[in-house]
Structure 1
């Protein structure tokens, strides 16, 4: 008799934005209709349900092995340390539990296609009273991180998005003059700096594409900063695209990461990871302990249950789980 496949545990960061929490909930329902295994999901901080509550529920239903997929786009601190640290704590709380760990969602061809759909929708929206003639460009805005590897991933996505969609590309489907990366926090260039660079390069229509999964405080900040920049520059047509959002394409990527985790096919990049390699300016992070976030809805938080195992980035690979 074949053993049933492990449950899919979707782990999000959390947000104070109610719309973002609702998006997460709807996405879990979509996954349940597309993946033939039990699906559960929770957050490591900021919003309910906390991860520990969800794991306890699965454990109570008899699940002793799960596949945890981090619902993050880049391998920054959340995917490399915070989520594995939280899962390590759950192993202590639930004897006999084990887990396989998936890799972050991006970059992925499906995500690039979804970003293109969001860009197209913004371009097809009603133009301003006086349509702007001139080159079109995209500002791809990521969250921003203190992890240089994560910020480099956003640059990579920006370049991949331009290939085949830019002027001179093999297909020239959009004729974009350029796709520039920017960040809304912790890293530069900022949203205004990115917009100014594209303006100086000659863009007259700019689509701001947020590289975010769901709605939340930071995507709202991206849109607000873009609108503020455009307010004093009537010669520009600045448009804001929607986040990737709850959709079948995103569900397919999560399902793919689930299967990879079960097969041990993680393909993490360690060559530029600050937890393994002494990158200039980040030497102190090599082998740094990984500990879980504090979650306000975790009744045991703050009572000695945080486990900084000192394994550094090894936890981020899910080795030994």
Structure 2
């Protein structure tokens, strides 16, 4: 575990997730924000690009103190390249944008935990299923996540995507496989994975508000605070 309780630096921590119509899915980001803020000693909140409130764009417009932003996103893509910078440009206070959460060894270990909870066995072939993207940088990030999970799982891991570039789950998942959703929260994509109709497969839950996700958010936030302090 990283990051003990710190003194309020005058910043606000804002997590930004994609957003979903699934209430439980949005609650994941809120729970992680609360836990990370408590660890950092900062006021913290979750926001969303779309489909749920508060919208990140509105949070940026209303910000009244310096903000550090940690994307609750697993790979580079349109939101990171376009939506988030455009919203940040409208803020009237200093805003520092952090890196996406994935790929990262902590996420891989959290996936291992979810696989074991679902009944998967070490060495069992795993298919990591990502939401997918048409962005080549996102594809590289997904392959990085596959490599990290294979190392943490100590077994073969293949990649499938639900959209964009890549092989679809029903083309690659075989009877006897385990499926690891590369998703932070329940919602549309997790529901699609849950409907996968392949006999004798073990399907893990989405990563969710795992303690290691909180650790990772705290790490990202501490990186931003340290960079700001060094630049003063």
**Fold conserved between structures, TM > 0.5:** yes
SS of equivalent residue, structure 2 residue 47: strand
State the Cα distance separating 1:57 from its structure 2 match: 5.0
> How many angstroms apart in 1 are the aligned matches of 2:152 and 2:128?
16
TM-superposition CA deviations, 1:79-120 (whole Å, max 9, x none): 22211111112x2xx3xx111110011121211110110111
* 135-144 vs 3-12, greater mean Cα deviation: 3-12
Q: Counterpart of 2:43?
A: 38
User: In the alignment, is the contact (CA less than 8 A) between 1:44 and 1:86 conserved in 2?
Assistant: no
Match of 1:123 in 2: 119
The aligned residue for residue 139 of structure 1 is 127
Match of 2:3 in 1: none
Counterpart in the other structure of 2:56: 51
The match for 2:87 is 86
Retained in 2: the 8 A contact 1:122–1:207? no
Unaligned runs of 5+ residues in structure 1 are 126-134, 167-175, 231-235, 266-321
Q: CA–CA distance in 2 between the matches of 1:143 and 1:4?
A: 36
Find the aligned partners of 1:3 and 1:256 in 2 and give their Cα distance.
16
The Cα of 1:5 is off from its aligned counterpart by: 4.1
CA distance 1:51–1:188, change in 2 (3 Å): same
Q: Is the 8 A contact 2:69 2:98 kept in 1?
A: yes
Stretch of structure 1 that moved more, 3-12 or 150-159? 3-12
Cα shift at 1:18: 1.8
Q: Which has the larger radius of gyration?
A: 1
Structure 1 residues 188 and 52, CA gap change in structure 2 (3 angstroms):
closer
1:124 and 1:191 map into 2 onto residues whose CA distance is 18
1:151 aligns with 2:139: yes
Q: 2:211 maps to what in 1? A: 248
Listed as ranges, the gaps of 5+ residues in structure 2 are: 1-6
SS at match of 2:190: helix
- The residue number in structure 2 matching 1:67 is 68
3-state SS of 2:59 partner: helix
Are 1:11 and 1:68, in contact at CA under 8 Å, matched by a contact in 2? yes
- Cα distance 1:40–1:56, how it changes in 2: closer, same or farther (>3 A)? farther
Q: Out of 50-59 and 75-84, give the one that drifted further.
A: 50-59
When the two chains are superposed, the root-mean-square deviation of aligned CA atoms in Å is 2.2
1:194 aligns with 2:195: no
Aligned match of 1:9? 14
Q: Contact 1:20/1:216 (CA < 8 Å) preserved in 2?
A: yes
Supply the distance in 1 between the matched residues of 2:217 and 2:31 (Cα, whole angstroms).
14
Partner Cα distance (1:3, 1:19) in 2: 29
Matches for 1:101-112 after TM superposition, within 5 Å: 101-112=97-108
Other structure's SS at 1:29 match = helix
Normalization by structure 1: what TM-score? 0.64
- State yes or no: 1:185 paired with 2:163: yes
Give 1:23 deviation, angstroms: 2.3
Residues 1:52 and 1:149: Cα distance change in structure 2 (over 3 Å): closer
Give the TM-score of the pair, scaled to structure 2: 0.87
Conserved in 2, the CA contact under 8 Å of 1:40 and 1:54? no
Q: Counting helix residues as a fraction of each chain, which structure ranks higher? A: 2
* Pairwise CA distance, 1:3: 8.8
Contact 2:160 2:169 in 1 (8 A): yes
- Distance (whole Å) between structure 1 residues aligned to residue 142 and residue 134 of structure 2: 13
Contact 2:110 2:210 in 1 (8 A): no
SS for the counterpart of 1:100 is strand
